[in-house]
């Protein structure tokens, strides 16, 4: 049987009936997306591999709870996002809050490995050090801001899709996205 | 041409491609003459580029096969855990239901069950006392609460709190008098 021609919902129905090949096809369809979401939360290949496996296990064990009215991809992404958030919560990362950032950004970030950067447009992103700083900055963003940045910039999702995954109004998604980018900008370009 | 500076939100919308047409052209003209806005635009552009520059490593080979095996193992583990939970619950239910008959059987068989029955009687009395306290507190809250027409819940909580403090005070008073008697 050619599983590649089946729709997501047909594969779900078959997986519920213990058809392993059907679930394998689901894994193959979403492995890249799930792995990418996991990686964007931890920036570690090994950890994201483990996280991805756990996410697919969660998907499999909760297939009966999936409401066929909704899109399967949104449901999978929501599980992947929530599982990755839980992972970060367990690690108890200190996040910055938007309200206090503009009051005292230096203090908030003094513990982070993000040194002060005076304005330097010549800096290129190929430098790993800069990328690591950005990754650290993203990791320490408030939870919802981080998720929106990941879904928008990495998963290239529309505002509507992000709103569906995070269960937020579109207006809130847009506001949070603007704030998140501004936070990152302020971290990189602290004014003297 | 616009006179005021571009907001951070506008800069981001510009980079997102949300601002188009005439508004976009006006914004670009402003950027030519305002060094502050131009600087902020470059800073945001830097962040946007950075966000696009982070790449995800390649997936390990046979990821789907390995993940499927992992998922099947997880299923077995979850089923096993559920079985253990159900077994424990069944065992507890069995003990609760058959505890008294078992005790009687042991007594008939000549086993000394007096310490167990004494312990159970004491536990029962303690539990009754505790339950009476709870019922008293709840009754006081209900009585006081019913007297208020508006803000019932808040008033109930306040008066209930006072009632609890009063009951605790009475209880402590009893304890103190008992200690006093012992000391004298």
pLDDT in tens, A114-163: 444 444 544 555 566 777 778 888 888 888 898 899 888 888 888 888 99
Question: According to the model, what pLDDT value does residue A80 have?
Answer: 93
Question: According to the model, what pLDDT value does residue A95 have?
Answer: 55
A27 shares contact with chain B (CB less than 8 Å): yes
Q: How many C-beta atoms lie closer than 10 Å to residue B31's C-beta?
A: 18
User: What DSSP string runs through B10-50?
Assistant: HHHHHHHT-S-HHHHHHHHHHHHH-HHHHHHHHHHHHHHHH
B104 found inside a domain: no
How confident is the prediction along chain B (184 residues), in pLDDT tens digits per residue?
666 889 999 999 999 888 888 889 999 999 889 999 999 998 899 888 888 877 788 888 899 999 999 999 998 998 899 889 988 988 888 877 787 777 778 888 888 878 888 888 888 888 888 888 888 877 777 766 666 555 566 666 777 777 777 777 777 776 667 666 666 5
Does residue A64 carry a pLDDT above 50? yes
Q: Where are the alpha helices (DSSP H) in chain A?
A: 8-16, 20-42, 45-61, 72-91, 98-101, 105-109, 128-139, 143-149, 159-166, 170-188
Average pLDDT of span A95-99: 50
How close does chain B come to A28, measured CA to CA in Å?
6
A61 shares contact with chain B (CB less than 8 Å): yes
**Which of A36, A49, A121 is facing B60, going by the closest CB pair?**
A49
B44 found inside a domain: yes
Question: According to the model, what pLDDT value does residue A56 have?
Answer: 96
Which residues does chain B have within 8 Å of residue A189's beta carbon, measured at their own beta carbons? Answer: 43, 46
B24 found inside a domain: yes
Contacts of B27 (CB under 8 A, 6+ apart): B2, B6, B10, B14, B19
Interchain contact, B43 vs A189, CB within 8 Å: yes
Closest-CA residue in chain A for B14? A178
B38 found inside a domain: yes
Lowest mean pLDDT among A69-83, A119-133, A178-192, B72-86: A119-133
Containing domain of residue B144, as a range?
130-184
What structural domains and CATH numbers belong to chain A?
Answer: 3-91 (1.10.1740.10), 98-188 (1.10.10.10)
- Tens digits of residue pLDDT in B90-141: 888 887 778 777 777 888 888 887 888 888 888 888 888 888 888 887 777 7
How close does chain B come to A61, measured CA to CA in Å?
7
DSSP tag of A154: I
Contact A18, A39 (CB under 8 A): no
CB contact burial A13-26 (16+ within 10 A = b; e otherwise): ebbeeeeeebbbbb
**Which of B43, B44, B56 is facing A36, going by the closest CB pair?**
B56
The CA-based angle A50-A52-A58, given to 5 degrees, is: 105
Interchain contact, B64 vs A153, CB within 8 Å: no
**Which of A60, A149, A184 is facing B71, going by the closest CB pair?**
A60
Band of pLDDT at residue A91, cut at 50, 70 and 90? confident
Total domains, chain B = 2
For testing contact with chain B, the best of A14, A16, A127, A178 (most B CBs within 10 A): A178
**Among all chains, which residue has been given the structure tokens 């919902």?**
A9
Contacts of A177 (CB under 8 A, 6+ apart): A145, A148, A149, A152, A159, B12
**Which of A36, A60, A125 is facing B75, going by the closest CB pair?**
A60
Above 0.85 for ipTM, yes or no? no
What is the Cα–Cα distance from A160 to A169, expressed in whole angstroms?
Answer: 9
A93 shares contact with chain B (CB less than 8 Å): no
Domain closes at, from B53, B69, B88: B53
Which residues does chain B have within 8 Å of residue A135's beta carbon, measured at their own beta carbons? Answer: 54
How close does chain A come to B108, measured CA to CA in Å?
51
């Amino acid at each position: 049987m050619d599983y590649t021609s089946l729709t997501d919902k047909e594969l779900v129905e078959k997986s519920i009936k213990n058809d392993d090949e059907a679930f394998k096809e689901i894994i193959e369809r979403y492995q890249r997306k799930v792995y990418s979401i996991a990686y964007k939360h931890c920036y570690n290949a090994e950890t994201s591999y483990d996280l991805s496996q756990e996410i697919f296990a969660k998907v499999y064990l909760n297939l009966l709870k999936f409401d066929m009215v909704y899109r399967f991809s949104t449901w999978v992404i929501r599980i992947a996002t929530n599982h990755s958030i839980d992972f970060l919560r367990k690690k108890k990362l200190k996040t910055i809050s938007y309200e206090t950032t503009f009051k005292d950004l230096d203090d908030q970030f003094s513990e982070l490995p993000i040194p002060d950067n005076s304005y330097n447009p010549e800096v290129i992103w190929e430098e790993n050090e800069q990328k690591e700083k950005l990754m650290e900055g993203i990791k320490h963003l408030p939870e919802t801001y981080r998720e929106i940045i990941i879904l928008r910039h990495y998963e290239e999702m529309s505002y509507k899709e992000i709103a569906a995954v995070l269960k937020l109004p579109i207006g809130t998604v847009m506001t949070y996205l603007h704030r998140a980018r501004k936070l990152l900008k302020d971290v990189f370009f602290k004014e003297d | 041409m616009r006179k005021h500076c571009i907001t951070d939100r506008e800069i981001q919308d510009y980079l997102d491609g949300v601002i188009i047409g005439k508004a976009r052209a006006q914004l670009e003209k402003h950027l030519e003459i305002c060094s502050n806005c131009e600087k902020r635009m470059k800073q945001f552009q830097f962040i946007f580029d950075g966000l696009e520059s982070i790449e995800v490593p390649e997936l390990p080979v046979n990821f789907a096969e390995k993940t499927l095996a992992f998922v099947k193992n997880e299923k077995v583990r979850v089923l096993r855990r559920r079985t253990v939970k159900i077994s424990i619950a069944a065992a507890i239910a069995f003990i609760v239901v058959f505890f008294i008959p078992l005790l009687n059987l042991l007594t008939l068989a000549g086993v000394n069950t007096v310490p167990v029955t004494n312990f159970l009687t004491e536990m029962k009395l303690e539990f009754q006392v505790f339950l009476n306290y709870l019922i008293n507190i709840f009754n006081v809250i209900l009585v006081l609460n019913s007297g208020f027409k508006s803000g019932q819940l808040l008033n109930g909580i306040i008066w209930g709190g006072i009632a609890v403090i009063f009951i605790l005070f009475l209880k402590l008073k009893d304890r103190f008098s008992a200690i006093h008697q012992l000391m004298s």
